[in-house]
Amino acid sequence: MVRVKRGVVSHYRHKKLLSAVKGYRGTKHRLVKVAHESLLHAGANAYVGRKNRKRDMRRAWILRVSEAVKKLGLPYGKLIFGLKKAKIEIDRKILAELVAKEPKVFEKIVEMSKPLPAGRQANNK
């Protein structure tokens, strides 16, 4: 059987791995086994972080809209319920953007979502 020397392939893979973990502390940027393990953990944490960022952004949008609606004398939940009832399909991201950049437009949207007085119910059939 012919002898196969695999040093070149291994060195290439190790070099690629070690350049990916550049900047890690301790042996995590020096030793191949430890570097590989730390890279796997970093990838898993990055995946979780991407999901958490979406959660945090939604929370921030809700907070921004809630505070703006409170100033207009309406709770956040009633605003969302009113928007659904008025068939206004605007997501929380756009609402938060309107609060920051177009407050007049936001106020009009809030007015449209407010319920009518008891005697003047709209006939929605």
DSSP letter string, 74-95: --HHHHHHHHHHTT----HHHH
Residue 121 forms part of a structural domain: no
Show pLDDT as tens, one digit a residue, over the chain (125 residues): 898 888 898 999 999 999 999 999 999 999 999 999 999 999 999 999 999 999 999 999 999 999 999 999 999 999 999 999 999 999 999 999 999 999 999 999 999 988 776 655 555 54
pTM above 0.85, yes or no: no
What is the number of structural domains in the chain?
Answer: 1
Give me the CATH number covering residue 18: 1.10.1900.20
Residue with tokens 């009633």: 78
Residue 73 forms part of a structural domain: yes
Residue 22 forms part of a structural domain: yes
Range(s) of the domain holding residue 49: 11-116
